[in-house]
Structure 1
Amino acid sequence: MSRLSPPSAILRHAVLLVTGALILIPFVWMVSLSLKPPGEIFRASFSVWPEQFFGLENYTKALTTAPLPRYMLNGVFVCALIVGLQVLVCAPAAYALAKLEFPGRSLLFALVLVALILPHEVLSLPLFILGYQIGILNTYAALIFPYVVSPFGIFLFRQFFKTIPDDVVHAARLDGLSELAIVWRIMVPMALPAIIAFAIFSVVGHWNSLFWPLIAVRDEALMPPPLGIMAFKNEEAGNDYGPLMAASTLVVAPLIVAFLAAQRWFVAGLTGGAVK
């Protein structure tokens, strides 16, 4: 592999640094606002660190104004069930598309690719009507059911399963394993990096989801974090930005910690399926 010349390397690192800074600025500003009193938030002068530290008051108000811990527990419960059910459904489907020969396999994979480009909001109205007809609206099932089948999960797992040699599958069949046993005892353990990468994508997407929960649930005890944060919105008195930014920081923090803890497997999972 040819090494980049010094000017090219400097340019590449400069672009990466600028891009990283642009991505981090909103998060840094969010944390900064969560530590400031109301008078400093709307001050014309710019400062990252507050002159008067107001973080304890803002974070205390964020945890007491609305049941934020309950919202976050709802998010953990819903995201964990969604990820578990998605792996349960997507892994066998991806195995069938990657390793089994049957009529219509190419057509089914094409449908998966089509489903990848469809925004989920397009399906919100039929899903709402279906949820009403089967009686799951305003329940945890309403937050989980629409996401059980993930086209992205099927695609990612299929690409990773394609990198596993067919000889492994043939050897397992000679040992008497059924196709489902091959999926759960051989393919899934070997595809653990892809599963972790997919789990991060899934958790981030559903933890931050606002559109569908806003439609599907109205009981405060069922609200996930983004919907719960709307409790800090006050149209009469105005938004209380200090506690609002504190609540947003508390909601985002678990995702950052989870990603930093799993980043090695995240990168391996995304690059593993691209080898073939």
Structure 2
Amino acid sequence: MKTEALTPGRAIRFGLLSVCALIFLAPYIFMISTAGKAQDDIFTSALSLIPAHFYYIANFTKALTRVPMGTLLLNGVLVCGLIFSLQVLIAIPCAYAMAKLKFRAARLMMVLVMLGLLIPIHATALPLYVGFNGLSLLNSYTALVAPFSISVFAIFMFLQFFRAMPDDLIHAARLDGMSELGIVARVIVPNAWPAVTAFAIFSVVAHWNDLYWPLIVISKQEYATPPLGLMYFRAAEAGDDYGALMAATLTITLPLVVAFLLAQKRFIEGITMTGLKG
């Protein structure tokens, strides 16, 4: 296998990428280090990434026993899974209609999608809260999932992907007698997995780490999502026990890291094919 020579330009690029990677990884490295330290080691004047005394077992034991960590992780998986499933179920037909069907309101729908991208959840939080309170749906999975079931970002992302698909493929399916829903289910969806995987990373990371909305609608621990559970952990039990707090944070963020590493190839393919590169 032939290897390329290390030119000065390649060495400079590699060095810059290594420095950038180290900067981005520094908080996670510091979190791993703190999760294995005793309280006295954390607040010393000398900063050392290697713990003087390894307290990983003690800190992780506190993290897994002081709050119902299993329930928090299960709630996170359930909420993120429901949100993602509903978003894809709604976004794919909408994006297909806007990309491949001709109708008068297509341009208006595109304008509405672009406007929807500009509206943050903070702007609609109060009316949504009042509505859920009036329906007695606070402290429920419905309150956590329903506001995010329609994602204009997903519609926009799939729209860019579907526009790149050849029209001949759609015409051939119509000549075979497929309905539009059949085309979506049997032609569009099987070819859209790179975009779906890429969007899955965006959706799961955003809603797994979301604290703002669960903090508003959830006050019972049995419905708490992982970030909200960290607040309960620190407020109720941990206090200033930062070693245990970092161990709990690692436990909650590890599934995201594993999921991204497993889907990294598809994620890059999806970003490239949807034209969302920076």
Letter in 1 for 2:50: W
- Compute the displacement of 1:15 (Å): 2.5
Q: Which moved more, 1:103-112 or 1:186-195?
A: 103-112
Q: Which amino acid aligns with 1:61?
A: K
In the alignment, the residues of structure 2 paired with residue 198 and residue 265 of structure 1 have an alpha-carbon distance, to the nearest angstrom, of 10
Secondary structure of the corresponding residue to residue 49 of structure 1:
coil
| Contact map agreement 2:238 2:244 (CA 8 A) in 1 | no
3-state secondary structure, aligned to 1:233? helix
Q: Structure 2, unaligned stretches of length 5 or more?
A: 1-5
**Structure 2: which amino acid aligns with 1:250?**
T
The alignment covers a number of residue pairs equal to: 272
**1:210, 1:226 within 8 Å by CA — same for their partners in 2?**
yes
Matching residue of 2:10: 9
Question: Do residues 151 (structure 1) and 152 (structure 2) align?
Answer: yes
Q: Distance in 2 between matches of 1:44 and 1:104?
A: 64
Equivalent-residue separation in structure 2 for 1:255 and 1:119 (angstroms)? 23
Q: What's the CA shift string for 1:138-168, capped at 9, x where partnerless?
A: 1000000010000110011111111110111
How big is the shift at 1:13?
2.6
| Gapped regions of structure 1 (runs ≥ 5) | none
Which residue in the other structure is 1:130 paired with?
131
> Structure 2 CA distance, aligned partners of 1:146 and 1:193?
25
The residue aligned with 2:101 is 100
> Could you tell me how far apart the structure 2 residues matched to 1:46 and 1:52 are?
14
Deviations 1:106-156 (A, max 9, x none): 121122112113222221112112222333211000000010000110011
CA RMSD of aligned residues (A): 1.8
Q: Map of 1:233-272 to 2, 5 A cutoff?
A: 233-234=234-235, 238-272=239-273
Give yes or no for contact 2:37–2:55 (8 Å, CA) kept in 1. Answer: yes
Does the residue aligned with 1:43 lie in a helix, a strand or coil? coil
Give the distance between the partners of 1:53 and 1:88, measured in 2 at CA. Answer: 47
Residue identity in the other structure for 2:232: A
How far apart are 1:104 and its partner, in Å?
1.8
Q: Structure 1 vs Structure 2: percent identity of aligned residues?
A: 47
* Alpha-carbon distance in structure 2 between the residues aligned to 1:73 and 1:118: 29
Alignment-derived partner of residue 55 in structure 1:
56
Normalised to the residue count of structure 1, the TM-score between the two structures is: 0.94
Q: Which residue of 2 aligns with 1:113?
A: 114
> 1:157/1:172 Cα in 2 relative to 1: closer, same or farther (>3 Å)?
same
Distance 1:273 1:59 in 2: 41
Aligned match of 1:232: 233
User: How big is each residue's C-alpha offset from its partner over 1:63-85, in whole Å with a ceiling of 9 and x where there is no partner?
Assistant: 00111111000000111111111
Report the counterpart of residue 187 of structure 2 in structure 1. 186
- TM-superposed deviation, 1:236: 10
